[in-house]
A and B are shown apart, each in its own frame.
Chain A
Amino acid sequence: DAKTTQPNSMESNEEEPVHLPCNHSTISGTDYIHWYRQLPSQGPEYVIHGLTSNVNNRMASLAIAEDRKSSTLILHRATLRDAAVYYCILSTGGYQKVTFGTGTKLQVIP
C-alpha cells in the first residue's frame, strides 16, 4: 500500500494560517489524496480530497505538488475548534481498503 508521512505535531496561533504537510512519494497515478481530522473521543470527519489540481472548499484548501509526491492542507485562519489530529491518506485504485497513519496533532494557541 502507498504510505504517507506527516509530522507528529504542529502548533499555530489562533487566526493565523496553518500549512499541514504530507509526503506520499510512492503515490501512483490513480491515487486520490484525502484529508480527515479527528477531535478527541470522536470519529474522524472528512476535510477535503484531490487528485492532481489544487482544491478549495469551505473548510480548507488542498495544494498538491506538481509531481504529486507531497501535498499541503491549508487552514486559512486557525480557530480553537481546528485543534485536532489531521490525517492524510491515499485512496488507492484497485483496492477498497483505506488505511490511516498516525496523523499530525495540531495545537492552536489562543
Chain B
Amino acid sequence: DGGITQSPKYLFRKEGQNVTLSCEQNLNHDAMYWYRQDPGQGLRLIYYSQIVNDFQKGDIAEGYSVSREKKESFPLTVTSAQKNPTAFYLCASRRTLEIREKLFFGSGTQLSVL
C-alpha cells in the first residue's frame, strides 16, 4: 500500500543532542512538508519542499533543519538550538504543486525531552 511512513513513533532527546526524524513516502509525490503540533493546538509549518534539493522555511523553522536528497525522503533534524522540542511532529506530502491537490499525512512522531 502506498503511503507515508514516519519513524520512530516515539523519540527521546537528551539536552544538547540533535535528533533526526524520518519521513519516507512511496506515493511519488513532489511536495513534502513538516509540521509541529503542540498539545491542544493546530499544526504549524516548519519546512516544506517542492522538489528534490530544494526546500523552504515555514513559519517556525528556527532550530530545525531538513534535506531533500531523494524524492521519497524528507528527514527533519531537531537541533540543540531548538529549546522546546517536545511536540508531535507530522510529515505530509502532496502529489503535485497544484493547489487543488490534497495532503497525505504520516502517523506522526512524538518527541520528548529527557
A interface residues with partner B (beta carbon < 8 Å): 30-32, 34, 36, 41-46, 49, 51, 87, 91-93, 96-103
Contacts and interface: CB of A to CB of B under 8 A. Distances in A.
A34 B102 contact: yes
Given A30-B99, A51-B100, A92-B99, A97 B106 contact: no
In which size bucket is the chain B interface?
Answer: 20 to 34
Given A32-B99, A43-B92, A97-B48, A102 B105 contact: no
Contacts of A51: 100
A34 B101 CA distance: 9
B86 to A, nearest CB: 15
B107 A49 contact: no
Interface string B70-114: 000000000000000000101010100101111111111010000
A103 B42 contact: yes
A93 to B, nearest CB: 6
A99 B45 contact: yes
Contacts of B44: 99-100
A102 B103 contact: no
Given A43-B90, A44-B103, A46-B103, A100 B42 contact: yes
